[in-house]
Amino acid sequence: MPDGASGRARTLRRATLLVLSILPLLPTLRAHAVGDLPIYFEAARSWLAGQTPYAGFRFEYPPYALLAFAPAALVSSSLPEFQVAFGLELLLVDVAIRAALLWTARRQRGAWAYAPFLAYAGVAQLQAFWLYKRFDLIPAALTLAAVLALSRGAAGLAGAALVAGIGTKVYPVVLLPLALVHTLRQGTLGRFLGGAALAAAPLAALAVSWPLLRAVGFHSARGLQVESLWASVLWLFRDWSGVRWVHATASYEVQGGLAPAVLGVAVAVWTLGTAAAVLLSLRRAEEPGPGALAERALLPLLALVALGPVFSPQYVLWIATLAALLVEPARWRLALAPLAAALLTRVTYPAPGYQTGLSPALTAALVLRNLLLVTGLGLLVAAARRGLPTAPDQQPP
């Protein structure tokens, strides 16, 4: 078969696989409205009506999140309409993520050319209950775009994508030191800063006119969310720890008993662990390519998620997109624990008893999920300290 015809056949296979992976998710656009949708809808409508975010109405997210909600709110007069419109918006983002993973691995041989896509698609399918109803797909896509752009030398695009992600949900900020050091070594720091400045200009203007610190105050008052490592262990041994499963302001938390003391420890470990992971991610990569950069980027991101006192189901998307880039011959072992944890999240949410307290069996599954994340973090730390990837010939059985 001529090269041109062979290339078209491969493109057709990838396009078909992408479409088939999306089809099972389409019915969820109208199904089971998840609790955050009314928050998005009312916030966008209030802003479009002229109220000032954080002052005229309560808003817990960074300013660019409103830009994500506004298009769907403009074409919707009711919450069900907003659910579909916003779901379609997220579906397009999801398609972009899948297409990027297929494109990135296109030069791999055999099944490896589809492995990152399939890894992400499996995680996404199991999170279908809320996948197109929480906006975390957007910062996850922007983070993936930043890493891929950095790996290709497109520093300006990487800077813009990373700052846009920070302005949407803050957490990509842990990748900023890595991006700065990487572009400094590559001699493209100026372009990175230029792209970042363009994306940050509207954010800076909004920070002057909107009281953003009120959102910071909201998050600083949060306790041990039930899905975090710390809360899950306390709940597993609740007869000893004396904690209660409580519906707090923005989530379910464990409170009372040992929870206040453990919260202080959790915040300290989380802060120090994430800072150490950020510093460790700055080690020079041994080889070019998206896999090498994703390995370093996932390190602080996984520390942020695995060690934190707050954990929501959608956080698995933060790690799944980058972990999928590690599913390649040299690094697939580093992806196993984070991806297994992401898959296991479906067992614990949604789950019976989530609103009143998980059963011992489900709590054990939750603790296992969190320990898998910690294990994945430990393997990334070990790999960073060695400075060498897994040997390419060590392929999975």
Show me where the domains of the chain are located: 222-388
Residue labelled with tokens 């997220």? 90
Q: Encode pLDDT of 72-99 as tens digits.
A: 999 999 999 999 999 999 999 999 999 9
Phi-psi map region of 153: left, alpha, beta (phi>0 left; psi -120 to 50 alpha): left
Q: Which of 125-134, 284-293, 339-348 has the lowest mean pLDDT?
A: 284-293
To the nearest 10°, the Cα dihedral for 33, 42, 86, 160? -130
Distance (Å, rounded) from C-alpha 55 to C-alpha 391? Answer: 55
Element (DSSP H or E) covering residue 310 = none
Q: Is the pLDDT of residue 279 over 50?
A: yes
Candidate from 196-200, 275-279, 393-397 with smallest mean pLDDT: 393-397
Secondary structure letter of residue 171 according to DSSP: G
**What is residue 60's predicted lDDT score, i.e. its pLDDT?**
87
Answer whether residue 336 shows pLDDT above 80. Answer: yes
- What is the spatial distance between Cα 317 and Cα 331, in angstroms, rounded to a whole number? 19
Q: Edge-to-edge, what's the strand order for the sheet holding 224-225?
A: 224-225, 252-255, 244-247
pLDDT digits (tens, 9 = 90+) for 158-192: 999 999 999 999 999 999 999 999 999 999 999 99
Residue 238 pLDDT level (bands cut at 50, 70, 90): very high
Q: Which residues contact 154 (CB under 8 A, 6 or more apart)?
A: none
This prediction has a pTM of 0.93
- Stretch among 78-92, 128-142, 375-389 having the lowest mean pLDDT: 375-389
Mean pLDDT of 130-134: 94
Give yes or no for residue 22 having a pLDDT over 70: yes
Higher-pLDDT residue of 213, 354: 354
Percent of the chain, pLDDT > 90?
A: 80
pLDDT of res. 394: 44
The angle, 0 to 180 degrees and rounded to 10, between the axes of the packed helices 79-104 and 315-325 is 20
Question: Highest mean pLDDT: which of 164-168, 247-251, 385-389?
Answer: 164-168
Closest CA to 200 of 151, 148, 161, 174: 161
Cα 247 to its chain centre, rounded Å, is 24
Which pLDDT belongs to residue 220?
Answer: 63
Tokens 């909600």 belong to 69
Residue 371, C-beta contacts closer than 8 angstroms, at least 6 positions apart: 229
Burial of 54 (0-12, 13-18, 19+ CB in 10 A): buried
pLDDT number for residue 73: 96
Q: What is residue 242's predicted lDDT score, i.e. its pLDDT? A: 97
Query: Of all residues in the chain, what percent carry a pLDDT higher than 70?
Result: 93
Q: How far apart are CA 196 and CA 203, in angstroms?
A: 11
* Residues facing 89 on adjacent strands: none
Q: What is the pLDDT of residue 216?
A: 67
| Pairing mode of beta strands 244-247, 252-255 | antiparallel
Higher pLDDT, 358 or 249: 358
| Cα separations in angstroms, 116 against 24, 121, 320 | 19, 9, 10
pLDDT tens-place string over residues 49-77: 999 998 888 888 999 999 999 999 999 99
Mean pLDDT on 384-395: 57
Tokens of 53: 């975010």
